[in-house]
Structures are given as C-alpha cells and as structure tokens.
Chains A and B, each alone.
Chain A
Amino acid sequence: MSLLLYGIVETDGEGPFGAGLDGGPLRGVVEEPLLAVVSEHAGAAPEPSAATLTAYERIVARLMDRGTILPARFGSMLDDEPEVRALLRRRREDLVARLRRVRGAVEISLRASSREATRLQSDRSRPPSDGSRRQSDGSRPQSDDGGTQSGTAYLRERLELRQSARRVAGELDSLKPLALSSRRTLAPRPDVPLLDAYLVDRERVDEFVALVEQIDVDLDDVDLVCTGPWPPYSFAEGPPV
C-alpha cells in the first residue's frame, strides 16, 4: 500500500481532511513545521482521466479552503510515511518559504489561443467539400490530416507564433503589478502563443479579471481564457515565488 500525496500545508492546518480519491480518509504526515496530506492507495498511480483529474482538483480545492496549501502534482506516489517525511525534511526550507509566499493568494491562469489556429482546426475537422486539398507528391512532408506543408511553411508558422507570443506578452505585462508573482510559458502548443499563471491576492481577483477584459479589447489575433481561482500549482516548483 503506497501513499498518494495531495498537497503540503503547515502543521496548524491539521485534520480531519475529508476523503481522498479512493474514498478513503485523507490523513496528515507531520515533519514539523510541515504536514503532507496523503491517502492510502493500492497499486499503480491513478489513471489521469478527466473524471479523476476533476475529482483530484476538487479535493485539493477543498484543502485550499481550509488554509494555505502547496498542491502536489497529480499522481505523486510515495512508498510510506518515512519517505514522505524524508521529502519534507529534504525540501523544508523551500517549501516553508513557498507556503509563506502563497498565503492568502490564489493562482489565476491566462491562456491566449490563436484565432487563426482555432479557425484552421475547425476547418480541418470538416471533410473537404471542393476537392481542393492537394495530393502529396512525395517531395513534401505530409501532415497528420492528409494535407501537405513545406518545411519553409512550417518554420514560418513557428516564427509567426513566436512573434505573436511576444506581442501578446507585451500587452499582458500590465497585469504584473496586480500579481504577487507570475510564470510565463511562450508558445507551449501550436495553437497557444502564451500561457501565463499569476499569483493574485484573493481580494484582488475581481480587479485582475477586469483588467484582463480591458486588455482583451486591444488583442485582435488571440482569444483569452482566464480561469481560477486555483491552488498555486504553478508556484510549487521552479524559481522562488
């Protein structure tokens, strides 16, 4: 029987914590001043299905309502309590610093999607109606959907995506003063020029979203999707918060 890790809190946030993914109780493994919230789990790590991911997120969100938490990545398994305590000891300084930094704050995600890529995806999902799709002549790479694309065209698309990402990033920089910290990923996927995460004080979320809406007025080649409040998933690892 292994332990499935949900998140790390300070020891003043002790249980009961409710039920875990398998329906069994969550419990705390303490290594002062930290407490890891875990449940017993038989077998391999849980499958990352939509239903399981949603259930996991709800458990972590419930824990966030109790107090400050650093969420664990889905599927984080440890062999036993000594291994959990070793993790807390090994990363104590970093985890304590991060918990203090994210206290009273939530994560807001901002995803910019290329309108052109969205349109192309929509077009590709429909069968060709006019026979205009070219046949492959063997001299060009063939895309997954049977269309053709030259190497030059591919590189041009990538370049345009990076340029779009930088342009959008410049516009979104005005959000930073409202955030305690932020993370930015440029062009994580072909249809996403930019993926941002902001650590925002709970009291300033409405103000933050209003500014997103205001910035969106000037962005004509991307769609913005702003989601939250999330537990601080993007601030649990990486550079100091």
Chain B
Amino acid sequence: MTTARTLYSSGRAASSGSRPVSLVDLIDRVLAGGVVVHGHVTLAVADVNLIELDIALIVAATATLAER
C-alpha cells in the first residue's frame, strides 16, 4: 500500500525516508481537503438539539482545535 510518509525534512534528509507523517500534515490533507459533501450535523446535549451546522464548518473548527 502506498502510504504517505515524510519525503524530506530540513536537516533530517538522511533519515527522513521512512518517517511517518505528523498529525498536522495528516489534518491538513484529510480534514482540510477532499470532496466536500454539503451535509449537516446537529449538536445536541441530553437529547436536546442545540444547533445545526454545515459539516464543513465543524471540520474546520476541529482542525483548528487539533493544532493547539
């Protein structure tokens, strides 16, 4: 299977070939890219629907959180 890896990293060229990608690189692709489906999700607490949001907005917010 063709798995993404770190192909080059400044100062680490000699050992970079087999290193896995970092979470931030994964997020930049999987959560920020790809075909967007215009669905929506409902945020609920204790079975009470609080808000409905476009799924793309949820994903963007999650990505921002994951950076911190």
Contact = CB atoms under 8 A, between A and B. Distances in A.
Interface of A: 5, 7-8, 44-45, 48, 50, 53-54, 56-58, 60-62, 64-65, 70-78, 87, 95, 106-109, 111, 189, 195, 197, 205, 209, 212-213, 216, 219, 222-230, 233-234, 236-237
A188 B50 CA distance: 30
A236 B33 contact: yes
Given A74-B31, A78-B39, A225 B9 contact: yes
Given A57-B30, A109-B29, A73 B37 contact: yes
Interface of B: 1-11, 13, 21-37, 39, 41, 55-56, 58-59, 62, 66-67
Majority secondary structure, B binding face = mixed
A158 B37 CA distance: 33
A44 B41 contact: yes
B25 A111 contact: yes
A209 B28 CA distance: 19
Shortest 5 CB-CB contacts between residues of A and residues of B: A233-B33, A73-B34, A223-B10, A226-B8, A76-B37
A60 B7 CA distance: 19
Given A73-B30, A226-B7, A48 B35 contact: no
A61 B1 contact: yes
B35 A213 contact: no
A57 B29 contact: yes
14 contacts: A5-B35, A8-B35, A44-B41, A53-B26, A75-B55, A95-B35, A109-B25, A109-B29, A111-B28, A205-B7, A226-B7, A229-B2, A233-B29, A237-B33
